[in-house]
Amino acid sequence: MSTSVAVDNLVKHFGTTKALDGVSFEVERGELFGLIGPDGAGKTTLLRILVTLLLPQSGHATVLGNDVVTDMWALRQRVGYMAGRFSLYPDLSVEENLQFFASVFGTTIEHEHDRIAPIYSQLEPFKGRRAAALSGGMKQKLALCCALVHRPEILFLDEPTTGVDAVSRREFWDLLDGLTREGLTTIVSTPYMDEATRCHRVALIQRGRLLAVDTPASIVAAFDRPLFGIKTPNRYDALRALREYERVHSIYPFGEQLHYTDKDLDREPRAIQREVAEFLRSRGIEQVSVDTIEPSIEDSFIARMGTPETMRGDAA
């Protein structure tokens, strides 16, 4: 069977809070699948249900053909899981942590050496060091090792790169690429939108609902109108001015630029560029350049999240 994970209408409450509000999607075998969303979106809850740590109120999910509710013990042999935020023993050394997790699954480091070698080679120089004394990036690599040591058929990683420096983040994703190349299905959750592009397919999640499930390229391609980047030294004034522009559909800061979309879907981009620049000049804002740009995953996320015009607080 080529579907590794099948999720059908999962619902999960915690008291009055709805963590998951009818989530459905599938993951194919060998995919590197990303769950992209901010804190509180439901990523951790979803992952915990899939690794049999929580029960949904309604809906079904199967992982590798096993139902997550009824086939709990069969699944626990087959999945690898890396919980969010440092699930290692701080007072044990690198090697001791790994040995422990290997023994829990009835194996040893030596036995699985070839599986974890590419990652372990980076850790081996520190194998006697206590886990608490490792840097953030090293801790995550160790946690990944521990999750892999029993040769799982599928890997679930909950925010493995949160709080980790940019270099270690990239290295971590390189490791994931390596694992995927060997055929391991991996589901990763992350709040970093830019990491979406490193996945085969992604699900954008916010407030317990999926905003989109597709390849990153397709999501971006589905951006429904031209996107413009406005550069000006008076960013803030330009922002306030454009809010009052009659043709504005959405305007928000994005790095050093402002991203702008127009109400009119059919208008020529160059005309829009001209008009916006003129409008700004009429408000006393000079040194403006308006260019068409490619939307990113983050732009798509924002567009699908809600009405970008009302970006002032109230409509939460």
Partner 1 sequence: MTPEPVSAAASAKTDAIEAKDLTRTFGGFTAVDHITFSVRVGEVFGFLGANGAGKTTAIRMLTGLLTPSGGSARVAGHDVYTESEAIKRNIGYMSQQFSLYEDLTARENIRLYGGIYDLSRAQIRERGDRMLEQLGLSAVGNRPVRDLPLGWRQKLAFSVALLHRPRVVFLDEPTSGVDPITRRQFWESIYETASSGTTVLVTTHYMDEAEYCDRISIMVAGKIAAMGTPADLKHDRGVASIDDLFVQLARPA
Partner 2 sequence: MSALRGLLRKEIVHIRRDPRTLTVLIALPVVQVVLFGYAIRTDVTNVRLAIVDPMPDHATLDLRNRFAAAGVFRIVAVVPRTENLEPLFQTGAAQQAVVFEPDFGDHLENTPSARLQIITDATDPNTGALLDAYASSVIDVWQRELASRDVVSALRRTPRTRVVIVPQTRMRFNPTRESSNLFVPGLMAFVLTIISSLMTAISLTREKETGTMESLLVSPLKPWQIIVGKVAPYLVIGFISVVTILLEALLLFRVPLRGNVLLLLAEGGLFILTSLSLGILVSARTSSQRVAMIGALVGTLLPNVLLSGFIFPVESMPAVLQAFAFVIPGRWFVEIARGIMLKGVGLDYLWQATLILGVTTLLLLAASTRSFKTRLE
* Min CB(12)–partner 1 separation in Å: 18
Containing H/E element for 221? helix 216-221
* Min CB(207)–partner 1 separation in Å: 9
Closer by beta carbon to partner 1, 1 or else 167: 167
CA dist 34 and 290 (Å) reads: 33
Out of partner 1, partner 2, none, which partner does residue 90 contact, by CB within 5 to 8 A per kind? partner 2
* Min CB(302)–partner 1 separation in Å: 5
Pairing of strands 154-158, 185-190: parallel
Q: Is 81 in the site for partner 2 (CB under 8 A)?
A: yes
Residues 149-178 that bind partner 1 (CB under 8 A): 162-163, 165-167, 170
Of 54, 239, 277, 311, the one binding partner 2 by CB under 8 A: 54
Of 78, 293, 308, 309, the one binding partner 1 by CB under 8 A: 308
* Min CB(211)–partner 2 separation in Å: 26
Q: Is 76 in the site for partner 2 (CB under 8 A)?
A: yes
Give SS3 for 256. Answer: coil
* Min CB(180)–partner 1 separation in Å: 22
Q: Is 86 in the site for partner 2 (CB under 8 A)?
A: yes
Out of partner 1, partner 2, none, which partner does residue 1 contact, by CB within 5 to 8 A per kind? none
Residues 139-198 that bind partner 2 (CB under 8 A): 146
Residues in CB range of 2: below 8 A, 6 or more apart? 28, 29
CA dist 95 and 124 (Å) reads: 8
Out of partner 2, partner 1, none, which partner does residue 108 contact, by CB within 5 to 8 A per kind? none
Angle at 262 between CA 239 and CA 236, to 5 degrees: 5
CA dist 190 and 133 (Å) reads: 24
Closer by beta carbon to partner 2, 86 or else 223: 86
Q: Is 89 in the site for partner 2 (CB under 8 A)?
A: yes
CA dist 56 and 137 (Å) reads: 33
CA dist 195 and 89 (Å) reads: 28
* Min CB(107)–partner 1 separation in Å: 33
Residue 246 burial (10 A CB sphere; 0-12, 13-18, 19+): exposed
Q: Which of 70, 37, 42 has its CA nearest to residue 55?
A: 70
Quick one: tokens of 219? 């999501």
Of 6, 229, 305, 309, the one binding partner 1 by CB under 8 A: 305
Q: Is 51 in the site for partner 2 (CB under 8 A)?
A: yes
Q: Is 235 in the site for partner 1 (CB under 8 A)?
A: yes
Give Cα separations from 245 to 168, 238, 248, 271 (angstroms). Answer: 43, 10, 6, 15
β partners of residue 192: none
CB-based contact 189:100 (threshold 8 Å): no
Closer by beta carbon to partner 1, 83 or else 102: 83
CA dist 253 and 200 (Å) reads: 28
The footprint of partner 1 (CB under 8 A) covers 37-41, 135-136, 162-163, 165-167, 170, 191, 193-194, 206, 235-237, 239, 252-256, 298, 301-302, 305-306, 308, 311-314, 316
